[in-house]
């Protein structure tokens, strides 16, 4: 019996394609690696949605493993008996058939690897919104391999048992998952007017981990901290950072997003109280589940005021870039910087809203905050004073603000601390409103639309330390 198999043109074509796929995968990975966030998607459910995450360095696990197997199979195809663990190859015909199986397996592995790496990178960089193609593609590849295997088997006319090949093919599917440190699941919670929709990230190695409920800021902000024209993933990155500290989190879409889906819903029907009702529903839901060791409410920006009112049934409260004054004071302050000639008019209008009165004659320059359809919402918001609400809290409180926040000043954080003297105050140098480090003021606004920028680690560690006390 000859020792080595002679490859034909088809064999060399398979080898060339397999190696080309490997090379393409590695080039694509290296070119994109440094743009990846610190936490990436490494596992997908049957619908192609990411539901498992890990550090970005873990992305090398599959390429290293698959590359070693692919090259090993190519060399093994030259002498299949080296991989015939069970000594089932008894003649030259079976040896040739085994060689073909190994070559087809190398092509399968390199193809699967490209799909795995591409899906992880594209999803983690938010370049694509559709990942439904992942599982069908893998299914098609495995099906083609099984067809090829069956064809070669029938042609050989004898039963072949190259167990190492079948094991490797199974490994190609299992390793798609890699190591999953935590899972992300969609959780919907009924509230008064809407169903709150959000993402629960829970470490799989600690069923009784503490839970942080993250409440988004103003506007139609989604669970990740994004709006239509402002993608920065601030809240998503915060949740992923907390996971590394074995802290679970639930972040949800703002009510305003769901309002827009309700047929016949009018803007004047919106109320600040709806935000509070939704947040309370979330807190009560997880309290009743009894799944976590403690529940902490963390409100960002406008969500800080919502959170401190909703946190009365929680185990702790965190204000992140939260205002320390009634919203009219902040609006007047912003107007004084942008259009000083409108200060008096703005003050008078907001005073009327505080009394529950309607404003009829509106200056076009103030329409964005005083439009008739917005006035009911503003009136409901103006009745809440953060200083009074935070003073009511008898649970542990952490107040965080950044020195580069151009929306909420450090003084607001100090005011909140002043009215809750048992609270802990942390001012993070150079952190802006969306948790990014700003060393040059020109970077501040551009950071609002750059989801690739990491959030400051001091924020995550400060919250983690508070939660674990």
Distance CA 432, CA 449 (A): 13
Distance CA 351, CA 349 (A): 5
Residue 46: the pLDDT is 64
Distance CA 17, CA 107 (A): 7
154-181 in b/e burial notation, b at 16+ Cβ within 10 A? Answer: eebeeebebebbeebbeebeebbebeeb
Is there a contact between 395 and 314 (Cβ–Cβ < 8 Å)?
yes
pTM above 0.85, yes or no: no
Residue 266 corresponds to which tokens in the numbers above? Answer: 């009018």
Q: Does domain 183-326+384-467 have CATH number 3.90.1150.10?
A: no
Look at residues 196, 358, 188, 193 and name the one whose alpha carbon lies nearest to residue 269.
193
Long-range contacts of 415-421 (CB under 8 A, 24+ apart): 415/324, 415/325, 415/386, 415/387, 416/319, 416/322, 416/324, 416/386, 416/387, 416/390, 418/387, 419/324, 419/387, 419/388, 419/390, 419/391, 420/390, 420/391, 420/393
Burial class (CB in 10 A: 0-12, 13-18, 19+), 271: middle
Is there a contact between 406 and 430 (Cβ–Cβ < 8 Å)?
no
Other C-beta atoms lying within 10 Å of the C-beta of residue 91: 11
**Residues of each domain in the chain carrying CATH 3.40.50.1820:** 183-326+384-467
DSSP sequence for 231-255: ---HHHHHHHHHHTTT-EEEEE--H
What residues does 39 pair with on adjacent strands? Answer: 55
Is there a contact between 246 and 208 (Cβ–Cβ < 8 Å)?
no
Is there a contact between 190 and 238 (Cβ–Cβ < 8 Å)?
no
Residue 424, H or E segment = strand 424-428
- Which ranges constitute the DSSP H helices of 187-300? 234-243, 255-259, 272-289
Query: Could you give the 3-state DSSP secondary structure of residue 54?
Result: strand
Query: Could you give the 3-state DSSP secondary structure of residue 117?
Result: helix
Residue 182, H or E segment = strand 182-190
Residue 176: the pLDDT is 47
pLDDT in tens, the chain (469 residues): 456 788 889 989 999 999 999 999 999 999 999 888 777 777 776 666 676 777 788 899 889 989 998 998 898 888 876 655 445 555 677 777 778 888 888 898 899 899 889 888 887 776 545 566 767 777 787 777 777 766 666 665 544 444 445 545 555 554 444 545 678 889 999 999 899 999 999 877 656 889 999 999 988 999 999 998 899 999 999 998 998 888 999 999 998 888 877 777 788 888 999 999 999 999 999 999 888 999 999 999 999 999 999 999 999 999 999 999 999 999 998 899 889 999 999 999 999 999 999 998 899 999 988 999 999 999 999 999 999 999 999 999 999 999 999 999 999 999 999 999 999 999 999 999 999 999 999 999 999 999 989 999 999 999 999 999 9
Is there a contact between 287 and 313 (Cβ–Cβ < 8 Å)?
yes
Distance CA 278, CA 286 (A): 13
Residue 142: the pLDDT is 76
Distance CA 436, CA 213 (A): 21
Residue 442 corresponds to which tokens in the numbers above? Answer: 């020109």
Residue 23: the pLDDT is 96
Residue 157: the pLDDT is 52
Other C-beta atoms lying within 10 Å of the C-beta of residue 433: 23
Is there a contact between 64 and 264 (Cβ–Cβ < 8 Å)?
no
Residue 322 corresponds to which tokens in the numbers above? Answer: 């939260």
Give ∠ CA 189-190-191 in degrees, rounded to 5. 115
Residue 154: the pLDDT is 60
Distance CA 323, CA 413 (A): 7
């Amino acid at each position: 019996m000859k020792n080595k198999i002679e490859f034909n043109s088809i064999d060399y074509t398979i080898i060339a394609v397999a190696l080309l796929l490997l090379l393409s995968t590695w080039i694509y990975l290296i070119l994109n690696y440094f743009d990846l966030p610190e936490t990436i998607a490494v596992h997908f459910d049957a619908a192609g949605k990411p539901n498992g995450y890990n550090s970005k360095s873990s992305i090398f696990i599959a390429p290293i493993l698959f590359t070693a197997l692919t090259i090993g199979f190519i060399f093994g195809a030259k002498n299949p008996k080296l991989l015939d663990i069970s000594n089932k190859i008894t003649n030259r015909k079976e040896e040739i058939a085994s060689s073909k199986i190994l070559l087809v397996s190398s092509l399968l592995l390199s193809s699967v690897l490209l799909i795995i790496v591409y899906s992880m990178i594209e999803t983690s960089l938010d370049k694509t919104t559709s990942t439904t193609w992942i599982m069908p593609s893998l299914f098609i590849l495995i099906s083609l391999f099984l067809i090829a295997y069956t064809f070669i088997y029938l042609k050989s006319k004898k039963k072949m048992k190259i167990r190492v090949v079948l094991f490797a093919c199974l490994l190609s599917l299992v390793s798609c998952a890699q190591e999953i440190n935590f899972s992300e699941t969609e959780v919907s919670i009924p509230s008064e007017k809407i169903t709150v929709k959000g993402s629960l990230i829970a470490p799989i190695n600690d069923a009784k981990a503490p839970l942080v409920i993250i409440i988004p800021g103003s506007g139609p902000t989604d669970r990740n901290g994004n709006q239509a024209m402002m993608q920065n993933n601030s809240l998503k990155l915060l949740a992923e950072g907390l996971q590394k500290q074995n802290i679970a989190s639930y972040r949800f879409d703002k009510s305003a997003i769901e309002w827009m889906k309700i047929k016949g819903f009018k803007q004047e029907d919106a109320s600040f109280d709806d935000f509070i009702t939704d947040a309370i529903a979330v807190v009560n839901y997880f309290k009743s589940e009894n799944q976590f060791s403690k529940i902490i409410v963390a409100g960002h920006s406008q969500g800080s005021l919502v959170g401190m009112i909703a946190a009365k049934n929680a185990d702790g409260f965190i204000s992140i870039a939260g205002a320390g004054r009634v919203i009219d004071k902040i609006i007047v302050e912003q107007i004084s910087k942008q259009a000083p000639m409108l200060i008096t008019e703005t003050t008078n209008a907001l005073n009327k809203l505080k009394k529950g009165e309607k404003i009829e004659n509106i200056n076009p320059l103030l329409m964005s905050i005083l439009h008739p359809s917005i006035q009911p919402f503003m009136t409901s918001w103006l009745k809440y004073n953060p200083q009074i609400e935070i003073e009511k809290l008898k649970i542990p409180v952490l107040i965080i603000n950044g020195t580069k926040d151009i929306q909420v000043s450090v003084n607001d954080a100090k005011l909140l601390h002043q009215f809750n003297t048992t609270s802990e105050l942390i001012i993070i140098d150079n952190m802006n409103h969306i948790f990014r480090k700003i060393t040059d003021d020109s970077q501040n606004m551009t950071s609002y639309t750059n989801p690739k920028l990491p959030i400051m680690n001091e924020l995550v560690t400060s919250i983690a330390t508070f939660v674990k006390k």
